[in-house]
Amino acid sequence: MDNYQIADCFSLLAKLTEIHGENSFKAKSYATAAFTIEKLPLQLSETPPEKIVGIKGIGESTAKKIVELLETGVLKSLEEMIEKTPPGVMELLNIKGIGPKKIATIWKEMEIESVGELLYACKENRLKLYKGFGEKTQHNVIETIEFYLKSKGSFLFSQINLMAEDVKSFFEKIFLTKKIALTGAYIRQVEIIHELQIVIDDTTENIENKLSAVPDFELVEKNLHDLLYRASVGLKIRLYGCDNTSFMQQVFFKNCSDEFGEAFAENYNSIDFSTCENEEVVFKKASLNYIPACQRESVSIIEKAKQSQLPPLLQASDIKGIIHSHSNWSDGSFTIEEMAKAAIEKGFEYLVISDHSKTAFYANGLQEERIKEQHIYVDELNKQLAPFKIFKSIESDILNDGNLDYSNAILSTFDLVIASVHSNLKMSEEKAMMRLINAIENPYTTILGHMTGRLLLSRKGYPVDHKKIIDSCAANNVVIELNAHPSRLDMDWRYIDYALEKNVLISIDPDAHSLDGFDDIRYGVLMAQKAMVGKENNLSSFGLKELEAFLMKKKPV
């Protein structure tokens, strides 16, 4: 073990000691030791143990730890510190601009335990609300985290969506007249993309030769029919080579899940793909109604396509209003008036303002007096903006016992209530189910917000029994949110078919904290397409009069 490795151990020990709020003198002494060791002209591994304590800047306690490291390869006090620190908090040390004191605040006061959670909090303007953080710090942290996450290789669908067509254009310029198609998980609209797959009408040998001179494009895997590259932004791109006659066959099967593709190949093995101009023709030759790529996941969809034409895909234009949005009354960036006018410009019929409730102190949640003030303000705006309507709502925190954090008297003043879990996310399934079902059974709960609390690529959701929650929502006429924020997309589309079977309404909501946040609706719509959600199944596709009628019927007498 050389001096740099030893110094790194003491540096990490200093940071963790400070994060855990232990003896500040110890933290400083460890940091000083790290600095001293790194600058030493001689290697400690070549120094007799008894002489280490005599080195200027190294005390007796530090010397003992150095000897322990050299003799055992580990430092027990550091191992103990690492063991009681969540891995996500450890990862926060990789983010430049936030030192141990700030990490302690982020972890212990904001209850954030991962890089992705921190990015999400920054996008919700929560970081700047804490002492020691400001607008500039928050902006810098966002930039640093986004750069850091790019290097990890997996991306949200929304991130790939911003670059996929540019990537395709890049290859079209290189391969000129060759056929090129984006395929794979991206075309199937899967929420997390590990690699962008592209089929090219060319041999793998030619593809490799043409890309060999392209800078910042690293070949990391070479197979008989495909090549895996890593672009400078961290994106992995798998290129499939083929000839013209097999191009459509490659595209088709790359746009199917393994399960769907295997079943299709087994049952329709006589199709001559070389005579198919597009995927629609493939289905015609199979005597099947067309199945869009986003729905080619399970075998069951093939049976549905045999029997009848599949329902039309839900479109973003089918969304009639913004449900679930936050203004600057809590942690949003704009006034309610600004958000309403932006919604009107986009052609929406209504806006549901659902600022955070009082328990969400970190998000400037509304105390009862501020609720009364906001409602008066909304009434005034509704007079000015009619026939457009702003609905009075709240995103009420589900407490540890499953109660909402206002009395029924207060909850009754809202047009609708979104009930969500925001704190104490580390739960057993039993605890999570108790909290959620109690909240669903509250007569004032209209919508169950982001069911599992997941943040894609950042935080697993707490464990739930989806079917039992859906059954409870069906019994209590509660809508389930499909939170359209690209980091959430929660509830998971894989469970929506059961909700539709039980006649539970879905609500595609952007959870917007800014005007740009309205546009996140498209990501919720793409997930809803996979689950075959129709306009009639989605609350935010209800027109203003339909929504008013639904809320009137739902409200307790």
First-to-last C-alpha distance (Å) of the chain: 73
Taking CA atoms, 503 is separated from 311, 442, 470, 473, 478, in Å, by 17, 19, 10, 10, 11
Give the residue from 283, 307, 331 where a domain finishes. Answer: 307
3-state secondary structure of 411: helix
Rounded to 5°, angle at Cα 87 from 86 and 89:
70
Give the residue from 280, 307, 334 where a domain finishes. Answer: 307
For the chain, how many helices (H) and strands (E)?
23, 14
Same domain, 142 and 183: no
The per-residue pLDDT for 508 is 98
325-365 confidence digits (pLDDT tens): 999 999 898 999 999 999 999 999 999 999 999 999 888 89
Same domain, 145 and 33: yes
Sign of CA dihedral 341, 345, 349, 352: negative
539-551 confidence digits (pLDDT tens): 999 999 999 999 9
The per-residue pLDDT for 151 is 59
Residue 550 CB neighbours (<10 A)? 17
Same domain, 391 and 514: yes
CATH number of the domain to which 524 belongs: 3.20.20.140
Residue 532 Cα to chain centre, angstroms = 21
Taking CA atoms, 464 is separated from 308, 404, 421, 471, in Å, by 34, 19, 13, 13
As a whole number of angstroms, the distance between CA 22 and CA 477 comes to 50
Q: DSSP readout, 124-140?
A: TT-GGGSTT--HHHHHH
As a whole number of angstroms, the distance between CA 49 and CA 66 comes to 9
Same domain, 345 and 409: yes
The per-residue pLDDT for 467 is 98
Query: Which amino acid is residue 198, in one-letter code?
Result: I
The per-residue pLDDT for 276 is 95
CATH number of the domain to which 121 belongs: 1.10.150.110
CATH number of the domain to which 159 belongs: 3.30.460.10
H or E segment to which residue 447 belongs:
strand 447-448
Sign of CA dihedral 255, 257, 259, 262: positive
As a whole number of angstroms, the distance between CA 405 and CA 357 comes to 7
As a whole number of angstroms, the distance between CA 39 and CA 250 comes to 58
Give the residue from 150, 165, 191 where a domain finishes. Answer: 150
Among 442, 438, 422, smallest CA distance to 430 is for 438
As a whole number of angstroms, the distance between CA 165 and CA 74 comes to 49
Q: Given the structure tokens 């004191």, which residue do they identify?
A: 101
Q: DSSP readout, 296-345?
A: -SSTHHHHHHHHSPPPPPP-GGG--EEEEE--TTTT-SS-HHHHHHHHHH
Same domain, 356 and 475: yes
The per-residue pLDDT for 143 is 86
Bridge partners, residue 350, by sequence = 321, 389
The per-residue pLDDT for 373 is 98
220-259 confidence digits (pLDDT tens): 999 989 999 998 778 899 999 998 889 999 999 999 999 9
Same domain, 397 and 470: yes
What is the number of domains present in the chain? 3
Q: Reading across the β-sheet that carries 217-222, which strands appear in turn?
A: 180-183, 196-200, 236-241, 226-231, 217-222
The per-residue pLDDT for 362 is 81
State the residue range of the domain holding 363: 316-554
Same domain, 209 and 250: yes
As a whole number of angstroms, the distance between CA 324 and CA 124 comes to 13
Same domain, 439 and 338: yes
Pair of tokens at residue 480: 């389930």
Same domain, 326 and 361: yes
Q: Long-range CB contacts (< 8 A, 24+ apart) of 107-113?
A: 107/19, 108/21, 109/362, 110/362, 111/423, 111/425, 113/86, 113/88, 113/89, 113/459
Cβ-Cβ contacts under 8 Å for 432 (sequence gap 6 or more): 421, 462, 463, 464
Same domain, 333 and 401: yes
Residue ranges, the chain, pLDDT below 50: none
H or E segment to which residue 37 belongs:
helix 24-39
Contact status, residue 19 vs residue 102, Cβ threshold 8 Å: no
Give, as one character, the DSSP assignment of residue 79.
H
Cβ-Cβ contacts under 8 Å for 128 (sequence gap 6 or more): 134, 135, 137, 138
As a whole number of angstroms, the distance between CA 509 and CA 418 comes to 11
Same domain, 373 and 397: yes
Radius of gyration of the chain (CA): 28
Pair of tokens at residue 271: 């199709």
CA contacts within 13 A on the Cβ side of 357 = 23
As a whole number of angstroms, the distance between CA 233 and CA 166 comes to 13
Pair of tokens at residue 406: 């206002």
Same domain, 480 and 333: yes
Bridge partners, residue 356, by sequence = 395
Q: Given the structure tokens 């009862």, which residue do they identify?
A: 368
468-482 confidence digits (pLDDT tens): 999 999 999 999 999
